[in-house]
Structure 1
Amino acid sequence: MGEDEIGLRRLEKKQGSREFLAWLAAEADDLAHLFHITPGLADLADPWTVEGLAGIERAAMERMPTPSATATGEEMAYLALCARGIGHTYLRTMGEGRWVWVDLYEGEPPVPALEFPGHTVWTDPGISIRNIVYDRHPGGLAEELQRLADWSRESHKYWEELEQKRLELERERALQRELHPEVKSRAREAPGLSKGIEKGLGRGK
Protein backbone atom coordinates (compact mmCIF):
# COMPACT_ATOMS: atom_id res chain seq x y z
CA MET A 1 0.00 0.00 0.00
CA GLY A 2 1.49 3.36 -1.09
CA GLU A 3 1.79 6.46 1.07
CA ASP A 4 -0.92 8.25 -0.93
CA GLU A 5 -3.40 5.45 -0.30
CA ILE A 6 -2.55 5.39 3.40
CA GLY A 7 -3.11 9.15 3.57
CA LEU A 8 -6.48 8.84 1.83
CA ARG A 9 -7.59 6.13 4.24
CA ARG A 10 -6.60 8.25 7.21
CA LEU A 11 -8.50 11.20 5.75
CA GLU A 12 -11.65 9.15 5.23
CA LYS A 13 -11.44 7.74 8.75
CA LYS A 14 -11.28 11.28 10.13
CA GLN A 15 -14.59 12.10 8.40
CA GLY A 16 -16.37 9.83 10.87
CA SER A 17 -15.29 11.78 13.96
CA ARG A 18 -18.11 12.68 16.33
CA GLU A 19 -17.11 16.33 16.36
CA PHE A 20 -17.31 16.61 12.58
CA LEU A 21 -20.59 14.71 12.32
CA ALA A 22 -22.09 17.00 14.96
CA TRP A 23 -20.81 20.01 13.01
CA LEU A 24 -22.42 18.73 9.82
CA ALA A 25 -25.70 18.08 11.61
CA ALA A 26 -25.84 21.71 12.79
CA GLU A 27 -25.76 23.11 9.25
CA ALA A 28 -29.44 23.99 8.93
CA ASP A 29 -29.52 25.79 12.28
CA ASP A 30 -26.28 27.66 11.56
CA LEU A 31 -27.44 28.81 8.14
CA ALA A 32 -30.78 29.94 9.56
CA HIS A 33 -28.96 31.92 12.26
CA LEU A 34 -26.64 33.55 9.73
CA PHE A 35 -29.62 34.37 7.51
CA HIS A 36 -31.42 36.20 10.33
CA ILE A 37 -28.44 38.21 11.58
CA THR A 38 -27.09 39.28 8.17
CA PRO A 39 -28.81 42.41 6.82
CA GLY A 40 -30.05 42.08 3.26
CA LEU A 41 -30.08 38.31 2.94
CA ALA A 42 -33.82 38.15 3.55
CA ASP A 43 -34.35 40.51 0.60
CA LEU A 44 -32.71 38.09 -1.85
CA ALA A 45 -34.66 35.45 -3.75
CA ASP A 46 -31.81 33.08 -2.92
CA PRO A 47 -29.37 34.17 -0.19
CA TRP A 48 -26.80 31.49 -1.04
CA THR A 49 -25.53 33.13 -4.21
CA VAL A 50 -22.83 35.64 -5.20
CA GLU A 51 -25.18 38.40 -4.03
CA GLY A 52 -25.45 36.66 -0.68
CA LEU A 53 -21.66 36.46 -0.44
CA ALA A 54 -21.52 40.24 -0.90
CA GLY A 55 -24.04 40.64 1.93
CA ILE A 56 -21.96 38.45 4.22
CA GLU A 57 -18.88 40.51 3.38
CA ARG A 58 -20.60 43.82 4.16
CA ALA A 59 -22.04 42.57 7.42
CA ALA A 60 -18.69 41.14 8.58
CA MET A 61 -16.77 44.33 7.81
CA GLU A 62 -19.40 46.45 9.55
CA ARG A 63 -19.39 44.18 12.58
CA MET A 64 -15.58 44.23 12.77
CA PRO A 65 -14.61 47.70 11.50
CA THR A 66 -11.18 47.70 13.15
CA PRO A 67 -10.32 44.04 13.79
CA SER A 68 -7.50 43.39 16.22
CA ALA A 69 -4.76 40.83 15.59
CA THR A 70 -6.43 38.50 18.09
CA ALA A 71 -10.17 38.00 17.64
CA THR A 72 -12.40 37.50 20.67
CA GLY A 73 -14.31 34.27 21.23
CA GLU A 74 -17.51 35.97 20.10
CA GLU A 75 -15.85 37.26 16.95
CA MET A 76 -14.40 33.82 16.20
CA ALA A 77 -17.86 32.26 16.54
CA TYR A 78 -19.30 34.86 14.20
CA LEU A 79 -16.56 34.32 11.61
CA ALA A 80 -17.12 30.57 11.82
CA LEU A 81 -20.80 31.17 11.12
CA CYS A 82 -19.91 33.28 8.09
CA ALA A 83 -17.52 30.56 6.91
CA ARG A 84 -20.38 28.05 7.07
CA GLY A 85 -22.49 30.23 4.79
CA ILE A 86 -19.60 30.89 2.42
CA GLY A 87 -18.80 27.20 2.10
CA HIS A 88 -22.45 26.33 1.59
CA THR A 89 -22.68 28.90 -1.21
CA TYR A 90 -19.49 27.69 -2.86
CA LEU A 91 -20.72 24.09 -2.88
CA ARG A 92 -24.14 25.04 -4.26
CA THR A 93 -22.68 27.24 -6.98
CA MET A 94 -20.01 24.74 -8.01
CA GLY A 95 -22.46 21.85 -8.03
CA GLU A 96 -19.81 19.48 -6.69
CA GLY A 97 -17.48 19.00 -3.75
CA ARG A 98 -17.99 18.34 -0.06
CA TRP A 99 -17.05 19.46 3.44
CA VAL A 100 -14.13 17.56 4.94
CA TRP A 101 -12.53 17.50 8.39
CA VAL A 102 -8.82 18.04 7.90
CA ASP A 103 -5.60 19.05 9.64
CA LEU A 104 -4.84 22.19 7.67
CA TYR A 105 -2.57 23.93 10.13
CA GLU A 106 0.33 22.40 11.99
CA GLY A 107 -0.23 22.20 15.72
CA GLU A 108 -3.89 23.17 15.36
CA PRO A 109 -7.00 20.95 15.67
CA PRO A 110 -8.86 19.82 12.53
CA VAL A 111 -11.08 22.34 10.77
CA PRO A 112 -13.92 22.03 8.24
CA ALA A 113 -12.73 22.77 4.72
CA LEU A 114 -13.98 22.27 1.18
CA GLU A 115 -12.78 19.52 -1.11
CA PHE A 116 -13.50 19.77 -4.83
CA PRO A 117 -12.84 17.02 -7.41
CA GLY A 118 -9.59 17.57 -9.25
CA HIS A 119 -8.32 20.27 -6.88
CA THR A 120 -4.99 19.58 -5.25
CA VAL A 121 -5.62 21.76 -2.18
CA TRP A 122 -8.50 22.26 0.22
CA THR A 123 -10.35 25.56 0.53
CA ASP A 124 -10.86 27.00 4.01
CA PRO A 125 -13.81 29.45 4.05
CA GLY A 126 -12.68 30.47 7.53
CA ILE A 127 -9.56 31.99 5.99
CA SER A 128 -11.66 33.46 3.19
CA ILE A 129 -13.80 35.55 5.55
CA ARG A 130 -10.79 36.56 7.64
CA ASN A 131 -9.11 37.90 4.50
CA ILE A 132 -12.20 39.99 3.80
CA VAL A 133 -12.33 41.42 7.32
CA TYR A 134 -8.62 42.03 7.83
CA ASP A 135 -7.70 43.12 4.29
CA ARG A 136 -10.95 45.12 3.78
CA HIS A 137 -11.39 43.53 0.36
CA PRO A 138 -15.06 43.53 -0.66
CA GLY A 139 -15.75 41.28 -3.62
CA GLY A 140 -13.00 38.89 -2.60
CA LEU A 141 -15.39 35.99 -2.07
CA ALA A 142 -16.84 36.26 -5.57
CA GLU A 143 -13.30 36.39 -6.95
CA GLU A 144 -12.32 33.26 -5.01
CA LEU A 145 -15.44 31.44 -6.20
CA GLN A 146 -14.56 32.30 -9.80
CA ARG A 147 -11.02 30.98 -9.31
CA LEU A 148 -12.41 27.73 -7.93
CA ALA A 149 -14.75 27.39 -10.91
CA ASP A 150 -11.89 28.08 -13.34
CA TRP A 151 -9.72 25.53 -11.58
CA SER A 152 -12.45 22.89 -11.78
CA ARG A 153 -12.98 23.58 -15.47
CA GLU A 154 -9.28 23.19 -16.25
CA SER A 155 -9.08 20.06 -14.08
CA HIS A 156 -12.02 18.43 -15.85
CA LYS A 157 -10.43 19.31 -19.20
CA TYR A 158 -7.14 17.70 -18.13
CA TRP A 159 -8.76 14.45 -17.05
CA GLU A 160 -10.90 14.32 -20.18
CA GLU A 161 -7.78 14.68 -22.32
CA LEU A 162 -6.03 11.97 -20.29
CA GLU A 163 -9.00 9.64 -20.72
CA GLN A 164 -8.99 10.33 -24.46
CA LYS A 165 -5.33 9.33 -24.63
CA ARG A 166 -6.12 6.14 -22.73
CA LEU A 167 -8.91 5.25 -25.17
CA GLU A 168 -6.65 5.95 -28.13
CA LEU A 169 -4.00 3.68 -26.62
CA GLU A 170 -6.53 0.89 -26.15
CA ARG A 171 -7.76 1.24 -29.74
CA GLU A 172 -4.17 1.10 -30.96
CA ARG A 173 -3.58 -2.06 -28.91
CA ALA A 174 -6.70 -3.68 -30.33
CA LEU A 175 -5.63 -2.82 -33.87
CA GLN A 176 -2.16 -4.23 -33.29
CA ARG A 177 -3.64 -7.47 -31.97
CA GLU A 178 -5.79 -7.78 -35.11
CA LEU A 179 -2.86 -7.09 -37.43
CA HIS A 180 -0.36 -9.14 -35.43
CA PRO A 181 -2.05 -11.98 -33.50
CA GLU A 182 1.33 -13.02 -32.07
CA VAL A 183 1.38 -9.76 -30.05
CA LYS A 184 -1.51 -11.04 -27.97
CA SER A 185 0.39 -14.15 -26.95
CA ARG A 186 3.48 -12.11 -26.05
CA ALA A 187 1.32 -9.76 -23.96
CA ARG A 188 0.11 -12.75 -21.96
CA GLU A 189 3.68 -13.77 -21.35
CA ALA A 190 4.68 -10.27 -20.23
CA PRO A 191 1.66 -8.63 -18.51
CA GLY A 192 3.94 -6.15 -16.78
CA LEU A 193 4.29 -4.20 -20.02
CA SER A 194 0.60 -3.30 -20.15
CA LYS A 195 0.54 -2.44 -16.46
CA GLY A 196 3.55 -0.19 -16.94
CA ILE A 197 1.76 1.81 -19.62
CA GLU A 198 -1.34 2.17 -17.48
CA LYS A 199 0.74 3.26 -14.50
CA GLY A 200 2.27 5.94 -16.67
CA LEU A 201 -1.24 7.25 -17.30
CA GLY A 202 -1.95 7.30 -13.58
CA ARG A 203 -4.24 4.26 -13.64
CA GLY A 204 -1.89 1.75 -12.07
CA LYS A 205 -1.26 1.26 -8.34
Structure 2
Amino acid sequence: MLVTKPISKTIRTLGDLEERFQLLPTQNSHFFPEWQESLPELTNIEIEAIDQIYQRYFRHRKHSSLAEGTVNHLLVAPLLTLAKLYDEPFFITTEPSVNLEIENQNEILRGRIDTLIIHQRLWVLVVESKDSLSFNIALPQAMTYMMANPNPSQFVYGMVTSGDEFLFIKMKTDANPEYDLSNVFYTLIPQRNQLREVLQILKQIRSIILQ
Protein backbone atom coordinates (compact mmCIF):
# COMPACT_ATOMS: atom_id res chain seq x y z
CA MET A 1 0.00 0.00 0.00
CA LEU A 2 1.24 3.46 -0.92
CA VAL A 3 1.99 5.77 2.00
CA THR A 4 1.87 9.54 1.54
CA LYS A 5 4.57 11.53 3.34
CA PRO A 6 5.32 15.26 3.41
CA ILE A 7 8.47 16.32 1.55
CA SER A 8 9.37 18.87 4.23
CA LYS A 9 9.61 16.15 6.90
CA THR A 10 10.93 13.34 4.72
CA ILE A 11 13.66 14.90 2.58
CA ARG A 12 15.98 16.84 4.88
CA THR A 13 19.44 15.78 3.72
CA LEU A 14 21.27 14.87 0.53
CA GLY A 15 21.42 11.34 1.92
CA ASP A 16 17.61 11.21 1.89
CA LEU A 17 17.70 12.12 -1.82
CA GLU A 18 20.18 9.37 -2.58
CA GLU A 19 18.15 6.78 -0.66
CA ARG A 20 14.83 7.55 -2.30
CA PHE A 21 15.79 8.59 -5.83
CA GLN A 22 19.28 7.16 -6.32
CA LEU A 23 20.19 10.76 -7.09
CA LEU A 24 23.97 11.03 -6.86
CA PRO A 25 26.54 13.79 -7.25
CA THR A 26 28.02 13.57 -10.72
CA GLN A 27 31.48 12.16 -11.31
CA ASN A 28 31.77 14.23 -14.49
CA SER A 29 33.91 17.31 -13.83
CA HIS A 30 32.41 18.96 -16.93
CA PHE A 31 28.78 18.37 -15.92
CA PHE A 32 28.08 21.95 -14.80
CA PRO A 33 30.36 24.46 -16.54
CA GLU A 34 27.55 27.01 -16.90
CA TRP A 35 28.17 28.69 -13.56
CA GLN A 36 31.85 29.46 -14.16
CA GLU A 37 32.84 29.24 -17.83
CA SER A 38 32.22 31.67 -20.70
CA LEU A 39 29.89 33.82 -18.62
CA PRO A 40 28.28 36.66 -20.59
CA GLU A 41 29.67 40.13 -20.03
CA LEU A 42 27.43 42.61 -18.24
CA THR A 43 26.68 45.92 -19.89
CA ASN A 44 27.34 49.18 -18.07
CA ILE A 45 23.59 49.58 -17.64
CA GLU A 46 23.31 46.10 -16.10
CA ILE A 47 26.26 46.77 -13.77
CA GLU A 48 24.69 50.01 -12.60
CA ALA A 49 21.33 48.29 -12.05
CA ILE A 50 22.75 45.27 -10.17
CA ASP A 51 24.85 47.53 -7.95
CA GLN A 52 21.72 49.51 -7.08
CA ILE A 53 19.87 46.28 -6.24
CA TYR A 54 22.78 45.25 -4.03
CA GLN A 55 22.91 48.56 -2.16
CA ARG A 56 19.16 48.50 -1.57
CA TYR A 57 19.27 44.95 -0.20
CA PHE A 58 22.34 45.61 1.94
CA ARG A 59 20.77 48.74 3.46
CA HIS A 60 17.75 46.76 4.63
CA ARG A 61 19.66 43.63 5.60
CA LYS A 62 22.19 45.31 7.88
CA HIS A 63 19.40 46.45 10.20
CA SER A 64 17.63 43.10 10.60
CA SER A 65 17.03 39.65 9.16
CA LEU A 66 14.56 39.60 6.29
CA ALA A 67 11.52 37.42 5.71
CA GLU A 68 11.19 35.37 2.56
CA GLY A 69 8.75 37.79 0.94
CA THR A 70 11.00 40.77 1.59
CA VAL A 71 14.01 38.97 0.08
CA ASN A 72 11.89 38.22 -2.96
CA HIS A 73 10.77 41.83 -3.40
CA LEU A 74 14.15 43.44 -2.77
CA LEU A 75 16.41 40.98 -4.51
CA VAL A 76 15.05 37.99 -6.38
CA ALA A 77 12.35 39.62 -8.49
CA PRO A 78 14.66 42.50 -9.59
CA LEU A 79 17.37 39.95 -10.47
CA LEU A 80 15.01 37.86 -12.59
CA THR A 81 13.74 41.01 -14.27
CA LEU A 82 17.26 42.16 -15.09
CA ALA A 83 18.09 38.69 -16.46
CA LYS A 84 14.97 38.95 -18.68
CA LEU A 85 13.51 35.77 -17.24
CA TYR A 86 10.07 37.39 -17.01
CA ASP A 87 10.06 38.24 -20.72
CA GLU A 88 9.04 36.34 -23.86
CA PRO A 89 9.16 33.35 -24.26
CA PHE A 90 9.39 32.65 -20.52
CA PHE A 91 6.45 32.14 -18.21
CA ILE A 92 6.46 32.02 -14.43
CA THR A 93 4.31 29.42 -12.72
CA THR A 94 3.87 28.37 -9.12
CA GLU A 95 2.71 24.85 -8.48
CA PRO A 96 0.46 24.56 -5.40
CA SER A 97 1.60 21.00 -4.73
CA VAL A 98 3.69 18.20 -6.12
CA ASN A 99 3.37 14.44 -5.75
CA LEU A 100 6.35 12.17 -6.38
CA GLU A 101 5.71 8.44 -6.33
CA ILE A 102 8.65 6.29 -5.29
CA GLU A 103 7.74 2.88 -6.61
CA ASN A 104 10.33 0.71 -4.92
CA GLN A 105 9.53 2.15 -1.48
CA ASN A 106 5.73 2.38 -1.85
CA GLU A 107 5.83 6.08 -1.01
CA ILE A 108 4.25 9.20 -2.38
CA LEU A 109 6.06 12.38 -1.37
CA ARG A 110 3.81 15.41 -1.30
CA GLY A 111 4.73 19.02 -0.76
CA ARG A 112 3.67 22.56 -1.41
CA ILE A 113 6.19 24.43 -3.54
CA ASP A 114 7.10 27.97 -2.56
CA THR A 115 9.02 27.99 -5.80
CA LEU A 116 8.96 29.91 -9.03
CA ILE A 117 9.17 27.61 -12.02
CA ILE A 118 10.44 29.30 -15.15
CA HIS A 119 9.73 27.58 -18.47
CA GLN A 120 9.87 24.19 -16.67
CA ARG A 121 13.67 24.44 -16.71
CA LEU A 122 14.64 26.80 -13.87
CA TRP A 123 13.31 26.40 -10.33
CA VAL A 124 13.85 29.26 -7.89
CA LEU A 125 13.42 28.74 -4.15
CA VAL A 126 13.66 31.61 -1.65
CA VAL A 127 14.15 30.99 2.08
CA GLU A 128 14.26 33.43 4.96
CA SER A 129 17.63 35.04 5.67
CA LYS A 130 17.41 34.73 9.45
CA ASP A 131 18.32 31.04 9.70
CA SER A 132 21.27 29.50 7.86
CA LEU A 133 19.92 26.05 8.76
CA SER A 134 16.84 26.69 6.63
CA PHE A 135 19.14 27.20 3.64
CA ASN A 136 20.75 23.78 4.17
CA ILE A 137 17.35 22.10 4.52
CA ALA A 138 15.96 23.98 1.51
CA LEU A 139 18.62 22.61 -0.82
CA PRO A 140 17.57 18.92 -0.74
CA GLN A 141 13.91 19.94 -0.76
CA ALA A 142 14.43 22.09 -3.86
CA MET A 143 16.17 19.17 -5.53
CA THR A 144 13.22 16.93 -4.63
CA TYR A 145 10.86 19.34 -6.40
CA MET A 146 13.21 19.42 -9.39
CA MET A 147 12.86 15.63 -9.65
CA ALA A 148 9.29 16.35 -10.75
CA ASN A 149 10.69 17.88 -13.95
CA PRO A 150 8.22 16.80 -16.68
CA ASN A 151 10.97 16.52 -19.31
CA PRO A 152 13.64 14.18 -17.89
CA SER A 153 15.52 14.20 -21.21
CA GLN A 154 16.44 17.85 -20.55
CA PHE A 155 18.71 19.27 -17.89
CA VAL A 156 16.95 21.26 -15.21
CA TYR A 157 18.44 24.10 -13.19
CA GLY A 158 17.73 25.43 -9.74
CA MET A 159 18.65 28.46 -7.66
CA VAL A 160 18.28 28.49 -3.88
CA THR A 161 18.76 31.75 -2.05
CA SER A 162 18.31 33.27 1.37
CA GLY A 163 19.29 36.67 0.00
CA ASP A 164 22.59 36.42 1.86
CA GLU A 165 23.56 33.27 -0.07
CA PHE A 166 22.97 32.00 -3.59
CA LEU A 167 23.55 28.46 -4.81
CA PHE A 168 22.91 27.03 -8.27
CA ILE A 169 21.97 23.42 -9.06
CA LYS A 170 22.08 21.44 -12.28
CA MET A 171 20.31 18.07 -12.46
CA LYS A 172 19.66 15.27 -14.88
CA THR A 173 16.45 13.51 -13.84
CA ASP A 174 16.32 10.53 -16.19
CA ALA A 175 16.74 6.87 -15.22
CA ASN A 176 20.21 7.61 -13.81
CA PRO A 177 19.76 10.95 -12.09
CA GLU A 178 22.77 13.03 -11.10
CA TYR A 179 23.50 16.57 -10.03
CA ASP A 180 26.17 19.15 -9.40
CA LEU A 181 26.27 22.35 -7.39
CA SER A 182 27.94 25.70 -7.90
CA ASN A 183 29.97 27.53 -5.32
CA VAL A 184 27.97 29.54 -2.80
CA PHE A 185 27.82 33.24 -3.62
CA TYR A 186 27.66 35.41 -0.51
CA THR A 187 26.13 38.85 -0.92
CA LEU A 188 27.30 40.47 2.32
CA ILE A 189 31.01 40.57 1.46
CA PRO A 190 32.02 44.25 1.81
CA GLN A 191 33.30 45.97 -1.32
CA ARG A 192 32.45 43.06 -3.60
CA ASN A 193 29.08 42.68 -5.21
CA GLN A 194 28.78 38.97 -5.97
CA LEU A 195 25.31 39.60 -7.35
CA ARG A 196 27.10 40.50 -10.56
CA GLU A 197 28.21 36.88 -10.89
CA VAL A 198 24.73 35.64 -9.96
CA LEU A 199 23.27 37.77 -12.76
CA GLN A 200 25.83 36.43 -15.23
CA ILE A 201 24.88 32.86 -14.37
CA LEU A 202 21.16 33.61 -14.72
CA LYS A 203 21.82 35.13 -18.14
CA GLN A 204 23.84 32.06 -19.07
CA ILE A 205 21.05 29.69 -18.01
CA ARG A 206 18.53 31.82 -19.93
CA SER A 207 20.61 31.49 -23.07
CA ILE A 208 20.89 27.71 -22.65
CA ILE A 209 17.16 27.29 -22.14
CA LEU A 210 16.47 29.33 -25.27
CA GLN A 211 18.67 26.96 -27.27
Fold shared, TM-score > 0.5 on shorter chain: no
Larger relative contact order (CA 8 Å, sep ≥ 6): 2
Could you tell me the TM-score, scaled by structure 1's length?
0.36
Which of these two proteins has the greater Rg computed from alpha carbons? 1
Structure whose residues are more often helix by fraction: 1
Structure whose residues are more often strand by fraction: 2
